[in-house]
Amino acid sequence: MELKTRIAAIIAVSVCGMCLFSGCSSEELEGKIEEPTEKTAEYATAAGNPIWSSVNGKKIGDEDGYDAAITEDGESAVQFEHFPDSYKPQKSEYNFYFTYKMVHPWWDAVSLGMESAVEKYKDLGVNISFDYVAPDQVSSLDQRKKLLKAAQEDYDVIGVDVDDKKVITPVINELMESGKKVMTFASSDSNKEDGCKRIAYVGNTHNYRDGADLTEALCEKLGRKGKIVLLIGTQSSPCYEDRARAAREIINKYPDMEIVDSAYDEDNEDIAYEYTMGFIKKYPDISGIICCDMSGPVGAAKAVIEEGLQKKITIVGMDHDKQALEFLRDGNIYCLGVQDCFSMGFDTIQTAIKIADGLMPGGEYRETTDEKTTIIYKDDAKYMLRVLYGEID
């Protein structure tokens, strides 16, 4: 079953709290800051996934008695305050199509940024609709079918988060040659170096560096000694493979470190748990686990905790899963690389409008819009849980 959704209907926004999706300007926010409560930082769910919220731009940890030690990196990891840039859309209505790797909370977070952009442009008299579809499990063949089907419809722009470059790049080129306008977005690109004719990309351009940063953090924590295992995500997906490649190359720099095994956990918590349990039994002396995806750290941490090995095995991984942040807070995960999914979504809509209007990169927008990743640690966890999930200690 595929997800086809317009997320706006499920966003919870309280009257005295968040102006995240209401179109309030920064000036309108002044003087409206209330004390954060469980109501104003509400955690809603869609299919069991988080609805991100902010608390009126209030710097949590200052006046409200919230005493978490918040680092500068933690505060800037996700940016919620976005407004349309100075470009004036040439049409009053747009219709976009976006397909991505699989139904998963990470891509739900991207869609929230898209919906925020839709609401902001609506305030300017521009109506945007979009279809946002993916399979339950990663499948480059399914993605290919979806793109070819979308090409038969009258979409202004077609966007794809590339699963497998070898399979999807020829499809993108076929659509472009037929006159369709195609962009890539979110986690994985296919660019000119790959022979791809897509117009632009909005998303993470530094997956290799993310993998390297996480691995270096692990190496430093372990004193650059120990046996390591990798949980990679889905096979052939560029974002996961790039992070794994970085991890291997970093570990290879240190003579007293070794990657003893790896597995593709399909970005699935249960599969990650099973692989981790297997690693623990097969390699009782492992000291670190590098997770190249969002679900891996959760499954790995559950297995490590179940075996009582929290003090022996150090886990690093990706992104903002609520359980992962709780494990980070409790010291069961060492660090997480949090991508700014919200900004990815917002900027994807802005770029799609300009592509639909016939603009090419280089003037009003760049060919590649680079979104950031922030490595966060235990001291950042409480803040992130509160801002993203409304969790109050």
The model's pLDDT over 290-310, given as tens digits with 9 standing for 90+, comes to 999 999 999 999 999 999 999
Per the rule left: phi > 0, alpha: psi between -120 and 50, beta: everything else, 105 is: alpha
Residue 347 predicted with pLDDT over 90:
yes
Considering the domain architecture, whether residues 201 and 349 belong to the same structural domain is answered as yes
185 vs 39: which has the higher pLDDT: 185
Residue 45 in any domain: the answer is: no
Beta-strand pair 3-4/127-134 = antiparallel
CATH of the domain at 101: 3.40.50.2300
Interval 254-267 mean pLDDT: 97
| Residue whose entry in the numeric block shows the structure tokens 């490595």 | 375
In the chain, the number of structural domains is 2
Q: Which residues pair with 129 in a beta bridge?
A: 95
Q: Which pLDDT belongs to residue 81? A: 85
Considering the domain architecture, whether residues 111 and 255 belong to the same structural domain is answered as no
Q: Which pLDDT belongs to residue 72? A: 55
Residue 39 in any domain: the answer is: no
Considering the domain architecture, whether residues 328 and 349 belong to the same structural domain is answered as no
Q: Which pLDDT belongs to residue 392? A: 65
Rounded to an integer, what distance in angstroms lies between the CA atom of residue 199 and that of residue 185?
A: 11
* Contact by Cβ (8 Å): 77, 338: yes
Q: Which residues pair with 375 in a beta bridge?
A: 337
Q: Which pLDDT belongs to residue 80? A: 80
Q: Which pLDDT belongs to residue 73? A: 58
Q: How high is the mean pLDDT of the chain?
A: 83
Q: Which pLDDT belongs to residue 390? A: 82
Residue 10 predicted with pLDDT over 60:
no
Kindly state the tokens that stand for 166: 């070898």
Would you say the C-alpha torsion 187, 190, 192, 197 has a positive or negative sign?
negative
The pLDDT > 70 percentage for the chain reads 80
Range of the domain at 229: 207-332
Residues in the chain: 393
Interval 116-124 mean pLDDT: 97
Q: How confident is the model at residue 169 (pLDDT cuts 50, 70, 90)?
A: very high
Hey, is 335 helix, strand or coil? Answer: strand
List pLDDT tens digits, range 192-225: 999 999 999 999 999 999 999 999 999 999 999 9
Q: Which pLDDT belongs to residue 328? A: 98
- CB neighbour list of residue 286: distance below 8 Å, 6 or more residues apart: 226, 227, 228, 229, 260, 279, 280, 313
Would you say the C-alpha torsion 64, 65, 66, 67 has a positive or negative sign?
positive
Considering the domain architecture, whether residues 201 and 347 belong to the same structural domain is answered as yes
268: closest CA among 290, 241, 244, 298?
Answer: 298
Residue 58 in any domain: the answer is: no
Hey, is 369 helix, strand or coil? Answer: strand
